Amino acid sequence: MSLRRTPLSNHHRELGAKMVDFAGWEMPIQYSSIISEHKSVREAAGIFDVSHMGQIFVKGSDAVKFLSFVTTWDMLRQKDGDCRYCHILNHKGQIIDDTIVYTISNTEYLLVPNASKIKEIMDWLLDNSNDFNVIIEDLSDSYFCLALQGPEAPRLLGQHLNTSVNSFQLETLNDVIVSGTGYTGEKGCELIGPLDQVEIHWEALVDMGAIPIGLGARDTLRLEKGYLLSGQDFKGTETTLDTNYAWVIDWNHEFIGREALVLQKQSDYSKLSGILLEDKGVLRPGCSVYYNNNKVSELTSGSLSPILRKGIGLSYIDLDIDSEVTIEVRGKHLNGRVVRTPFL
């Protein structure tokens, strides 16, 4: 099966990007180097083509009740223009996907699922919508998504669209949703709009100085902040509590998976924690973690932090913060410790 391409595919190639298969899409992994692109976002402004992400619209008089039922957050608490990160769970409390819900109005919402989860989320929403007056539409093929991230991003956004947006707020300008969201932990925004407009926005922002950033740096940026990666940090069996993301749960409303999570709260369970490498080395997903010479877990994510210049990773582990561990890297046991995230 041939890989799908975003409308900016030729632009990426012209810029010398190395293209890879990501969730069935041909996407740029890097343009120059992951480290230089990473630092561009931390120090200036980078632009990401993330048009492979999903766009599912939920409309109707019961939209707020429906989304409260199928996500971990009570959408009655949201106002028009609010954005909210939350989880979509199965009846066992296990994460199907994480998403941001955009409140366009109390009768219209936008969900942005991960690229590999679009169909699964769409099917799940439809299967659980029978008792609600809602219309659910997957318009992923009709919309683009660009992420403008970094300390200079607000200035570039103002220069480009003569607007500004606060964190986790949105506004709509000429059919383009501008939201104060991202996956880097930096100031910035994401633009979501009709597919035929993507080149206009990409070219304008690049001309203004935004540096094109590939998925490689996107991964190291999110890992430094301890953000979850779907299909890697959770694969369908982990709950929101397992991932140490209890803050995305509003316990004061009924939602799918709530009963299972209430029971889990009463038991002991391993939580996703940060692993910081003290010795020189690079961590990778799958590296074994040892405590007192016994293997206790494996890394779900791992890389070199370009800012800390140390190996960092995530692992489901039942150890106290600052516990000393060793991580097996290419047959060698390197010293590290359990830390809280974010790493910086």
Sign of the Cα pseudo-torsion (158, 161, 163, 164, in order): negative
Sign of the Cα pseudo-torsion (185, 162, 99, 120, in order): negative
Q: What are the residue ranges spanned by the domains of the chain?
A: 9-54+141-224, 56-138, 270-339
* Whole-number Å distance between alpha carbons of 244 and 236: 15
Q: Give strand ranges (E) for the chain.
A: 18-22, 25-30, 46-49, 56-59, 83-89, 95-105, 108-112, 135-138, 143-149, 170-173, 176-179, 188-194, 211-212, 271-277, 288-291, 294-305, 310-317, 324-329, 332-339
What fold, for 9-54+141-224? Gyrase A; domain 2 (3.30.1360)
pLDDT tens profile 55-99 = 999 999 999 999 999 999 999 999 999 999 999 999 999 999 999
* Whole-number Å distance between alpha carbons of 182 and 225: 12
Cβ neighbors of 234 (< 8 A, separation 6 or more) are: 95, 98, 228, 242, 243
pLDDT score for 167: 98
pLDDT tens profile 88-103 = 999 999 999 999 999 9
pLDDT tens profile 164-209 = 999 999 999 999 999 999 999 999 999 999 999 999 999 999 999 9
Q: What's the pTM value of the predicted model, to 2 decimals? A: 0.96
pLDDT score for 164: 97
What fold, for 56-138? Alpha-Beta Plaits (3.30.70)
* Whole-number Å distance between alpha carbons of 234 and 254: 23
CATH number of 270-339: 2.40.30.110
* Whole-number Å distance between alpha carbons of 180 and 79: 15
* Whole-number Å distance between alpha carbons of 205 and 222: 22
Compute the residue count for the chain.
344
Question: Residue 1: is its pLDDT beyond 90?
Answer: no
The confidence band for 142, taking pLDDT boundaries of 50, 70 and 90, is very high
